[in-house]
Amino acid sequence: MLLEATNVSKAFDEFFAVRDADLSVAEGEIIGLIGPNGAGKSTFFNCLAGETVPTAGRIVFAGTDMTRASSETHARAGIGRTFQVPDTFVDMTVLDNVMVGAFLRHPHRNDARDHARRIVELTGLRPDQPGRSLGTPGRKRLGIARALATEPRLLLLDESLAGLTPGELRDAIALIRRIHDMGVTLVIVEHIMEVIMTLTKRVLVFNQGHVIASGTPEAVVNDAAVIEAYLGRRHREREHRG
């Protein structure tokens, strides 16, 4: 297993944002994390990325215990991530943003710039565009590019496709497929079921801090507990109409 999270819990005083969550990710997989707002996905995600230290449990990446390691160490070990609200370096151009990531494996400026250029080209962004002038879809794409420039083995995408038009969504799905084809393993937090159904082979469903279901996307969307907790009445109605 590339990533193995066992019994991960995160409590804030009395409140458990995540309780006893397990996740095993094999090299080359694309895994989806879904659940309603406040279900604990992002907290769990932050535990995996090293931004939050779990209250209990263990996280092992490529044979190394990363439970208490910092997010810098995670990046060095080969875990890249994006943010739900993209933290763009607004005073820098797209290329410079990506270069910050590229410097991790390419300390010399020219090497980092060449590597960053290739990544920017792959993501279809304009290298000289100021970060400040990008809209939300552009910033999310830049977030992916920046993380990709660190040459991760595992890429954690936090709602990177939210708020896109249908056309942009198609492009973004194609981009994620290309990244996967490069040999990168992916864990995706996403609300858009189309993305989950299209890209992933396995899904974990969170509700109130617990993993309430896991399995193939098809199995999960038909799971009674999931329908009740997440997809809800609207889904059932749609099913009836269909």
Partner 1 sequence: MKLFSSSRVSRFSFASVPERVGWGLLAAALLLYPLVLSGPFYRDIGVTFLLAAISASAWNIVGGYAGQVSVGHSMFFGLGAYTPLLFYTLWGWPPLAGLPVAVLLSIGLALVIGQPTFRLTGHYFSMATIAVAELIRIFTGTWDLVGAAIGLQGPATARSLWDLTFRSELPYYYMFLAVLALLLATTAVVERRRFGFYLRAIKASERAAKSLGVPVRQTKMQALALSAAFTSVTGSLYVIKTGFIDPDSGFGILISVQMVIVAALGGAGTLLGPLMGALILVPLQTTTNSWFGGGGSGLTYILYGGIIVLIARFVPGGLFELWHRVAPHFRTRAHAA
- The structure tokens listed for 1 are 């297993």
Candidates 126-134, 167-175, 183-191, 192-200; binding stretch for partner 1 (CB under 8 A): 126-134
Closest Cα to residue 151, out of 75, 84, 72, 71? 75
Using rule CB under 8 A, residue 27 touches partner 1: no
User: Which residues in the 150-169 window bind partner 1 by CB under 8 A?
Assistant: 150
Of 99 and 229, nearer to partner 1 (C-beta) is 99
Using rule CB under 8 A, residue 135 touches partner 1: no
Closest Cα to residue 53, out of 76, 78, 40, 71? 71
Using rule CB under 8 A, residue 147 touches partner 1: yes
Q: Pick from 20, 67, 89, 122 the residue near partner 1 by CB under 8 A.
A: 89
Indicate the residue type of 70. Answer: S
Q: Pick from 87, 114, 121, 237 the residue near partner 1 by CB under 8 A.
A: 87
Candidates 6-14, 55-63, 78-86, 223-231; binding stretch for partner 1 (CB under 8 A): 78-86
What Rg, from alpha-carbon coordinates, does the chain have? 18
Residue 156 bridge partners (DSSP): 81, 187
Please name the residues in contact with 93: beta carbons below 8 A apart, sequence gap of 6 or more. 127, 128, 129, 130, 131
- Tokens 């009836």 found at: 240
Please name the residues in contact with 165: beta carbons below 8 A apart, sequence gap of 6 or more. 137
34 close to 25: Cβ distance less than 8 angstroms: no
Of 2 and 149, nearer to partner 1 (C-beta) is 149
Candidates 25-33, 98-106, 181-189, 210-218; binding stretch for partner 1 (CB under 8 A): 98-106
Using rule CB under 8 A, residue 107 touches partner 1: yes
Using rule CB under 8 A, residue 75 touches partner 1: yes
Of 49 and 199, nearer to partner 1 (C-beta) is 49
Instruction: Give the integer Cα–Cα distance in Å for 17 and 44.
Output: 8
Catalog residues that contact partner 1 under the rule CB under 8 A.
49, 51, 70-72, 74-76, 80-81, 83, 87-93, 96, 99-101, 103-104, 107-109, 112, 130-132, 146-147, 149-150
